[in-house]
């Protein structure tokens, strides 16, 4: 199955006022918005093309992160921070859709960079902390902030389109995202050391945040599970971004959207990419330029609009988002799971 690619440019043109009087175009956009919400509901994932997020932007970011992850381990440990989502308990699935089981220590690194304005007052200061800037990277802050802000802008456009498609006000989701603890959290996996087929870099899990967005990695390996339980390997075209549903959008839609399960494992396609990179003398660090977009810590998670009348709404009682995140983190500490993309 190929995920559809949604071009955001027509929607961005309309909301900018460029074509506000074109009823035909607006009708077409409503159809596209319905496609966005339907795809998120059925697959938990969506490919988008945003003219503000170029392939060159993604390459610039990955180039810097490859240099960062190639540093000695003891240097990188100066920037260690806690993780903000976890691996869900494995479920009974058909053999062809079974996830891979991690063995041994987690073979990847993750760096967390807080993106966007922080709330002036919050009950959850630890979720809105300042990032650490590593030494020796003068371009670090500008590159991280630039790529992070562009990815958040893409998320916001998709969140608006999804809200329209779900029959909610356009700002139903984005209004709750303001001053959220959004995290640009690239992972680094050393394929020179851990490039054996079947190596698990991110075990079967869902994300606890609202929506997750990724730039295209130079090495494949991501698989997702559709709502029907089918496992699908994701192929992200050049110049596109991947968006995945998290637990917070599941809460806000009363279970109409489900947090998407996924894993990252070394596959045959990964091995092919390793071979090409080796021949071209390129870095063998697999970098995932992942950003976790969150609902604001002090906002309340609850089914919105007509979703409050959903038969499943009682499974999603109102809860402060920061408290919800703390509960998820408690599960991480209890189980010791750190499955991430």
232 Cβ partners below 8 Å, 6+ apart? 1, 43, 223, 224, 225, 226
User: In the beta sheet, which residues pair with residue 49?
Assistant: 7
Contact 128, 136 (CB under 8 A): no
Question: Could you please report the per-residue DSSP string of 94-154?
Answer: -GGGPPPPP-SS--EEE--EE-SPPPSS-S-GGGGPPPPPPTT-TTHHHHHHHHHHHHHHH
SS3 91: coil
- At residue 341, the pLDDT reads 35
Query: Is 183 among the domain residues?
Result: yes
145's tokens? 């902030």
CATH of the domain at 173: 2.60.120.330
- At residue 1, the pLDDT reads 65
Number of domains composing the chain:
1
Integer Cα distance of 293 and 247 in angstroms: 11
339 Cβ partners below 8 Å, 6+ apart? 86, 87, 88, 102, 202, 203, 204, 205, 263
Query: Is 257 among the domain residues?
Result: yes
Query: Is 165 among the domain residues?
Result: yes
Query: Is 318 among the domain residues?
Result: yes
- At residue 258, the pLDDT reads 94
Query: Is 120 among the domain residues?
Result: yes
In which domain, by residue range, is 167 found? 5-80+108-126+136-332
- At residue 332, the pLDDT reads 60
**Which portions of the chain are predicted below pLDDT 70?**
1, 18-25, 75-110, 125-131, 332-341
Give per-residue pLDDT as tens, 151-171. 999 999 999 999 999 999 999
pTM: 0.84
Query: Is 320 among the domain residues?
Result: yes
Query: Is 93 among the domain residues?
Result: no
- At residue 25, the pLDDT reads 56
Query: Is 339 among the domain residues?
Result: no
Query: H or E segment at 41?
Result: helix 23-43
């Amino acid at each position: 199955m190929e995920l559809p690619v949604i071009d955001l440019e027509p929607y961005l043109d309309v909301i900018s006022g460029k074509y506000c009087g074109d009823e035909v175009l607006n009708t077409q956009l409503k159809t596209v918005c319905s496609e966005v919400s339907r795809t998120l509901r059925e697959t938990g994932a969506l490919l988008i093309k945003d003219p503000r997020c170029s392939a060159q932007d993604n390459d610039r970011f990955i180039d810097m992160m490859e240099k960062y992850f190639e540093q000695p381990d003891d240097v990188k440990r100066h920037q260690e921070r806690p993780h903000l989502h976890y691996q869900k308990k494995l479920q009974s699935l058909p053999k062809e859709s079974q996830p891979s089981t991690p063995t041994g220590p987690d073979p990847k690194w993750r760096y967390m960079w807080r993106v966007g304005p922080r709330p002036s007052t919050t009950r959850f200061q630890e979720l809105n902390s300042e990032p650490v800037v590593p030494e020796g990277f003068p371009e670090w802050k500008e590159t991280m902030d630039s790529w992070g802000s562009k990815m958040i802008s893409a998320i916001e456009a998709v969140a608006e389109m999804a809200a329209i498609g779900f029959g909610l006000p356009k700002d139903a989701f984005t209004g709750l995202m303001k001053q959220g603890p959004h995290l640009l959290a690239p992972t680094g996996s050393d394929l020179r050391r851990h490039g054996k087929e079947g190596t698990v870099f991110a075990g079967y899990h869902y994300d606890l945040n609202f929506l997750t967005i990724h730039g295209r990695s130079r090495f494949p390996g991501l698989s997702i599970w559709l709502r029907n339980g089918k496992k699908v390997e994701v192929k992200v075209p050049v110049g596109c971004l991947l968006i995945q549903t998290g637990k917070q959008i599941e809460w806000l839609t009363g279970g109409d959207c489900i947090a998407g399960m996924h894993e990252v494992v070394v596959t045959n396609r990964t091995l092919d990419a390793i071979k090409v990179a080796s021949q071209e003398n390129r870095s063998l660090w697999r970098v995932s330029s992942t950003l976790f977009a969150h609902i604001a810590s002090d906002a309340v998670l609850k089914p919105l609009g007509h979703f409050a009348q959903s038969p499943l709404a009682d499974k999603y009682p109102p809860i402060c988002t920061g408290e919800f995140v703390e509960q998820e983190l408690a599960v991480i500490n209890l189980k010791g799971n750190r499955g991430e993309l």
